[in-house]
Amino acid sequence: MSTATSTQQAPAHGHGVEHHHEPGFWQKYVFSTDHKIIGIQYGLSALVFLMFGFLLMMCMRFQLAYPGQKIPVFGSLLEAMLGDAAKGGAMSADLYNSFGAMHGTIMVFLAIVPLAFGAFGNYVTPLQIGAPDMAFPRLNMASYHAYFLGGALMVASFFVPGGSAKSGWTSYSPLATVAEFGKPFNGQTLWLIGMVMLITSSLLGAVNFITTIIQLRAKGMTWMRLPFFVWAQFVTGFLLLLAFPPLEAAGVLQLMDNLFHTSFFLPTGLVVGGDQLPVAGGGSPLLWQHLFWFLGHPEVYVLILPAMGIVSEVIANNTRKPLWGYKSMVYAVMSIGFLSFIVWAHHMYLTGMGTKVSTFFQTTTMMISIPSVMILTALFISLWGGSIRFNTPMLFALSFLPMFGIGGLTGLPLGFNASDIYLHDSYYVIGHFHYVVAPGTIFGLMAGIYFWFPKMTGRYMNETLGKIHFWFSLLGMNLVFAPMFIQGLKGMSRRMADGGTTYFGADDIAIKLNTSITHAAVLLGLAQLPFIVNLFLSIRNGRKVESDNPWQATTLDWATPTPPPHGNFATEPIVYRGPYEYSSPGAARDFTPQGQKV
């Protein structure tokens, strides 16, 4: 708990701390309406799914490096649980497809988004705007429960006959419909129902976040005094609100195709296994892709914007300088939000939708890189001349910049349709988006965990373990994803269950890289152990914080007691200044909190 300068002993005022009887376990941890508990629920569930998704990928990586061999450690377990699909502890092609689809789904919808939006958004946003809770606490709880249910359905889908969905996380029709045609209860059906749950969850979350930010800002918290993290969450909320419903529509249509044998996405004369499919036909496979990517592309920004927000907070705090170009960053994030709705078809250059359409989407795609680069540049310039504190959160935040930079720049050749023809569906694409999401977003989220942990628990996480975690993760990430660019440029296709040995053969450098990537992935996995140990041990044994504001930060989240009680603030916060008044000339200290008068 807090010490000398703690504000926890001042619960007398009307606004804030609750005095009611202590609620029971279920009330407190499962059916809680407190945004902080819900944030932690989201965070822990998402971390579990992150590990689960990672382990799926480890099995796949082993298969790529050593096709058809028994998977060490997990092989026998897989055989015991999944039966023939993992015969002899080795991975069948079907199982590879199923793990591939679920790795993508779990990482995007069950791990990163819930961690970035559900966990950090829930915990930090109300604190930073000076609100006692979210605008709709019960909706907030329902949002987590819908997410949990969706996640449970996704996990359960591994055990239905035929296994989980195996048509990629993009679930392209007609493959997704014909893969298990005529069997209504299959992994794909559960995937679709699970997605509807997850979409409901993020819809409730998005409505709640946007309303909270519009309505519950503290006195004096004008729009341009909002921390950049809040702006990022605000735009993310709009992306989730408006981009997910078309996927819900697509999901409903695909469910109709799978269960009632309509032909929304099935063209006329579709022949499967030598027989014409007994459906009316007349549908459009492209329609699915348009609806999917209408979500899919804004979703990319849902993944990256919260991480940018976290990184901005950490960088401003640890350079002891105001963010350079705060206003331009705000306008940039709004432009990203708008533009992200009109770039979706750059995922579809090779579908034959026509050169005119491709040219339009190529243009908008190049346009959206401008605001992204603006934010990145502003963050880089923010470092200029700062006396930087290199603690663990700062290391993660700093490495976010070049890693996201690599991810972004390697995306440009994919955005031009001439070069995309060559690179499409190759390992280059995998390298590109993993650079954005893994060492990009996940590093940003890690920075956030190390940064806000002292506020959540009143204790620091261990710095030594943190630095081990950071350096080995950085090394592992790059050893895993950088060689994929080479593989892709050498023409290696993604989604091949045996790592390309049977199709490829011509270039053994690309094939040999499979092995080195797998070894690097093991290193990356081992590098997470210090983090897991650190996370749990520091809750009880970490070094205690000296005050409610251990990082000497300016934003309102550090003006609460530690950990913040139900209702957050001991006295109603009033905001007098912008979010990043660090090292103001003439100020007594090198930081001036937003709530400090004059």
Partner 1 sequence: MEIPYTYKARPDTGLYNAKVGIWLFLASEIMLFGALFSSYILLRVQAPDGVWPEMRLGWPHGLLNIPIGTFNTVVLISSSVTVVMAWASLKMGKIAAFRRYMILTLMCAFGFLGVKSYEYNEKFTHYELRLKNGEVHTGHLEVNGKHPGFWSFADIWNLDRLTKEKVAEVQFTADPPKPKAGEAHAAEAGHEHVAKAIKRDEISRLEAFIPRNHNFFAIYFTITALHGLHVFVGALVMAYFAFPGSRMWRTNPEQFTNRIEVVGLFWHFVDLVWIFLFPVVYLL
Number of residues interacting with partner 1: please give it, by CB under 8 A: 52
The region, left, alpha or beta by phi > 0 then psi within -120 to 50, assigned to residue 138 is: alpha
The SS3 call for residue 303 is helix
CB 270 to partner 1: min, Å: 12
CA distance 393 to 244: 31
Interactions with partner 1, residue window 545-574 (CB under 8 A): 566-567
Is 248 near partner 1 (CB under 8 A)? Answer: yes
CA distance 592 to 437: 34
Interactions with partner 1, residue window 261-280 (CB under 8 A): 261-264, 268, 278-280
Interactions with partner 1, residue window 174-203 (CB under 8 A): 203
Sketch the per residue contact string, 214 through 233, with partner 1: x for CB under 8 A, - otherwise.
xxx-----------------
Among 8, 170, 211, 335, binds partner 1 (CB under 8 A): 211
Is 364 near partner 1 (CB under 8 A)? Answer: no
CB 211 to partner 1: min, Å: 5
The SS3 call for residue 580 is coil
Beta bridge mates, 381: none
Interactions with partner 1, residue window 278-337 (CB under 8 A): 278-284, 287, 290-291, 294
- Write out the two tokens for 526: 């081992």
Among 67, 132, 151, 499, binds partner 1 (CB under 8 A): 132
Among 58, 64, 210, 521, binds partner 1 (CB under 8 A): 210
Nearer to partner 1, 58 or 210 (CB): 210
Strands 275-276 and 271-272: antiparallel
Nearer to partner 1, 16 or 296 (CB): 16
Type of residue found at 525: G
Binding span for partner 1 by CB under 8 A among 53-61, 244-252, 479-487, 540-548:
244-252
Nearer to partner 1, 108 or 199 (CB): 199
User: In terms of Cα–Cα distance, which of 212, 256, 20, 187 is closest to 117?
Assistant: 212
Nearer to partner 1, 48 or 252 (CB): 252
CA distance 544 to 532: 19
Asked if 521 and 476 count as a contact pair (C-beta separation under 8 A), the reply is: yes
Distances (CA, A) of 387 to 383, 384, 396, 469: 9, 9, 17, 24
Is 256 near partner 1 (CB under 8 A)? Answer: yes
Asked if 587 and 581 count as a contact pair (C-beta separation under 8 A), the reply is: yes
Distances (CA, A) of 110 to 34, 51, 433, 548: 21, 11, 17, 32
User: In terms of Cα–Cα distance, which of 578, 305, 567 is closest to 445?
Assistant: 305
Nearer to partner 1, 131 or 333 (CB): 131
- Write out the two tokens for 502: 């049977």
Among 23, 88, 89, 137, binds partner 1 (CB under 8 A): 137
Which residues contact partner 1 (rule: CB under 8 A)? 15-18, 131-137, 139, 203, 206-208, 210-211, 214-216, 241-246, 248-250, 252-253, 256, 260-264, 268, 278-284, 287, 290-291, 294, 566-567
